[in-house]
């Protein structure tokens, strides 16, 4: 009997060693790539409409009689509501999704919502053919799924990184915002030319479904429970983490977080960032085609300055740099189309420095509560997704360079103001409410209050008994 048990344990140990040997001490980097692809997929599913809408219109070329049977056009107002439906759904879903992540973890929540996004994308062609209200309903489903993106970034970084690699992981994951259009636009163009517009949604939905099934099978909420993670990697990941129990981790100090100016500065910075991001990603095709007449076919290694200084520097570089490009674009001669395109690309490209600014600040300040603080950055993208389409469409009625000038100036101004607030209030170290002492102190306080209530109740019962007699 003992020999059989020894053989069994030996086999289990050998099997565990074989699992660990597959990725060595780099399993967290494999998961980083997988999570990045899943985040990219959800955002790409939303962006598909921005390119597909061009393919949906009637083909005016000479040999296009057969393809014109399955064509659709949308008014400017309808396009705005198609975008806003996603934003409203994500905005309403944000707090419930954060609560679910806190309770269930991102393996279950992100897998479910990712599959929802994939299925919604796959049925978009059917919804469009049924009618505009059905299409809006499907876009709402995409918005609900999108609400998970930033809570997932926060939760993943809190669980799977240690302090020296926090900036690297945050920088990599938030890159999905730029990565999605880089993949979606050329892929959509090729699919549209080869198979017509429904193939754009079918391809994106299928890829998304495969990614999230893989994620659900491979991911674990806790590195200690992952079969491919060995003791060396576990110990490295646990460096600098608050040693609190599961129950305390789930009790988020909402009041303390909401009273922290640095957290509000981070959230306001996200508004400035995503005002620019949404303006460019949602409307740059319109600017390029109508105004320019184009046809449609290293941060954690810096140790000699404080974290606070790095946050301020990179955020200012990104926001003020992007603003400078936009202001130059506002007044540049639109007949010089190549240089105008360079300025527009520069405004988008320099925003990558935000990974060393407010994006990195959120998990650094909030540590184990990063899923809540980083998760609420999604409010920035959803609120601006609501606002940007309406102010751009109202300012660019005729799509003249003079009208677009005001769009660029307003967007740049928002970025300067939000960056100023961020620079004033941001700090470089974790907030007090992330420390072990704070958690333990509050846990003791809660126990004392419960005991006091119990003692008070017992005394009252005893007093009432004596009065009866």
pLDDT > 70? residue 304: no
Q: Is the pLDDT of residue 271 over 50?
A: yes
Reported as a pLDDT band with limits 50, 70 and 90, residue 297 is very low
**pLDDT at residue 225 is higher than 60:** yes
298 pLDDT more than 80: no
- Considering only residues 99 and 73, tell me which one the structure prediction assigns the higher pLDDT: 99
**pLDDT given for residue 141 in this prediction:** 94
Residue 279 has what pLDDT? Answer: 74
For residue 68, the model assigns a pLDDT of 55
Task: Read off the pLDDT of residues 348-378 as tens digits, 9 standing for 90 and up.
Answer: 778 777 777 887 787 778 776 776 777 777 7
Three-class SS of residue 252? coil
Q: Where is average pLDDT lowest: 292-306, 386-400, 411-425?
A: 292-306
Nearest alpha-carbon partner for 43 in 136, 147, 129, 197: 147
Strand positions, DSSP E, 360-460:
none
Please give the backbone phi and psi of residue 349, each rounded to the nearest 5 degrees, phi first.
-65, -40
pLDDT of residue 135: 92
Cα separation, 344 vs 329, whole angstroms: 7
Residues 6 or more apart in contact with residue 17 via CB below 8 angstroms = none
Most confident of 9-13, 47-51, 108-112, 171-175: 108-112
Assigned token pair, 163: 């302090």
> For residue range 394-405, what is the model confidence (pLDDT) as tens digits?
887 787 888 888
Q: What is the pLDDT at residue 108?
A: 92
pLDDT band at 124 (very low <50, low <70, confident <90, very high): very high
Give the contacts of 389 (CB within 8 A, at least 6 positions apart).
Answer: 79, 80, 83, 84, 278, 282, 283
pTM of the model: 0.70
Confidence of residue 69 (pLDDT cuts 50, 70, 90): low
DSSP 433: G
The set of residues, in sequence order, having a beta carbon less than 8 Å from that of 459 and lying 6+ positions away, is none
Is residue 78 within 8 A of residue 131, CB to CB? The reply is no
Taking only the tens place, the pLDDT of each residue in 333-342 is 888 888 888 8
The answer to whether residue 145 scores a pLDDT higher than 90 is: yes
Give the mean pLDDT of 61-83. Answer: 67
CA distances from 447 to 233, 316, 441, 444, 451 (A): 35, 45, 10, 5, 6
Task: Confirm if 93 and 117 have CB atoms less than 8 A apart.
Answer: no
pLDDT at residue 65, as a whole number: 47
Q: Would you place residue 262 in the very low, low, confident or very high pLDDT band (cuts 50, 70, 90)?
A: confident
Check pLDDT > 50 for residue 318.
yes
How confident is the model over 13-62, as pLDDT tens digits?
666 666 666 667 788 889 999 999 999 999 999 988 877 877 776 664 44
Confidence of residue 455 (pLDDT cuts 50, 70, 90): low
User: CA separation (Å) from 100 to 104, 109, 253, 312?
Assistant: 6, 7, 16, 33
Please, what are the domains in the chain?
22-56+72-241 (1.20.1250.20), 247-436 (1.20.1250.20)
């Amino acid at each position: 009997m003992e020999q059989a048990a020894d053989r069994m344990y030996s086999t289990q140990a050998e099997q565990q060693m074989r699992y660990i040997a597959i990725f060595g001490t780099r399993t967290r980097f494999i998961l980083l790539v997988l999570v990045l692809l899943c985040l990219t997929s959800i955002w790409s599913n939303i962006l598909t409409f921005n390119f597909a809408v061009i393919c949906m219109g009637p083909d005016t070329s000479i040999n296009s009689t057969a393809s014109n049977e399955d064509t659709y056009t949308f008014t400017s107002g309808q396009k705005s509501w198609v975008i806003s439906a996603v934003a409203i759904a994500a905005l309403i879903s944000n707090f419930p999704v954060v609560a679910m992540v806190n309770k269930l973890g991102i393996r279950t929540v992100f897998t479910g919502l990712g599959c929802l996004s994939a299925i919604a994308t796959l049925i978009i062609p059917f919804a469009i053919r049924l009618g505009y209200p059905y299409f809006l309903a499907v876009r709402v489903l995409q918005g609900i799924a999108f609400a998970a993106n930033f809570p997932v970034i926060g939760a993943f970084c809190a669980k799977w990184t240690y302090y020296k690699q926090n900036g690297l992981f945050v920088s990599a994951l938030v890159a999905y915002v730029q990565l999605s259009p880089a993949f979606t636009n050329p892929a959509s163009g090729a699919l549209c030319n080869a198979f017509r517009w429904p193939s754009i949604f079918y391809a994106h939905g299928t890829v998304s479904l495969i990614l999230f099934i893989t994620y659900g099978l491979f991911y674990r909420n806790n590195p200690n429970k992952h079969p491919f993670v060995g003791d060396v990697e576990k110990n490295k990941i646990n460096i600098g983490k608050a040693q609190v129990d599961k129950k305390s981790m789930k009790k988020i100090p909402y009041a303390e977080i909401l009273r922290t100016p640095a957290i509000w500065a981070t959230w306001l910075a996200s508004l400035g960032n995503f005002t620019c991001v949404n303006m460019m990603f949602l409307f740059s095709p319109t600017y390029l085609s109508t105004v320019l007449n184009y046809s449609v076919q290293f941060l954690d290694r810096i140790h000699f300055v404080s974290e606070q200084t790095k946050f301020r520097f990179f955020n200012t570089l990104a926001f003020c740099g992007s603003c400078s490009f936009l202001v130059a674009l506002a007044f540049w001669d639109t007949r010089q189309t190549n240089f105008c395109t360079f300025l527009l690309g520069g405004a988008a490209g320099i925003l990558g420095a935000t990974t060393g600014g407010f994006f990195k600040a959120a998990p650094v300040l909030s540590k184990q509560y990063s899923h809540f603080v980083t998760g609420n950055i999604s409010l920035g993208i959803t609120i601006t997704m609501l606002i940007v389409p309406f102010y751009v469409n109202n300012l660019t009625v005729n799509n003249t360079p003079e009208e677009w000038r005001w769009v660029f100036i307003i967007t740049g101004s928002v970025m300067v103001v939000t960056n100023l607030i961020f620079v004033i209030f941001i700090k470089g170290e974790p907030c007090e409410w992330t420390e072990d002492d704070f958690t333990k102190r509050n846990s003791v306080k809660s126990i004392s209050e419960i005991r006091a209530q119990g003692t008070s109740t017992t005394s009252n019962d005893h007093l009432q008994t004596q009065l009866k007699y």
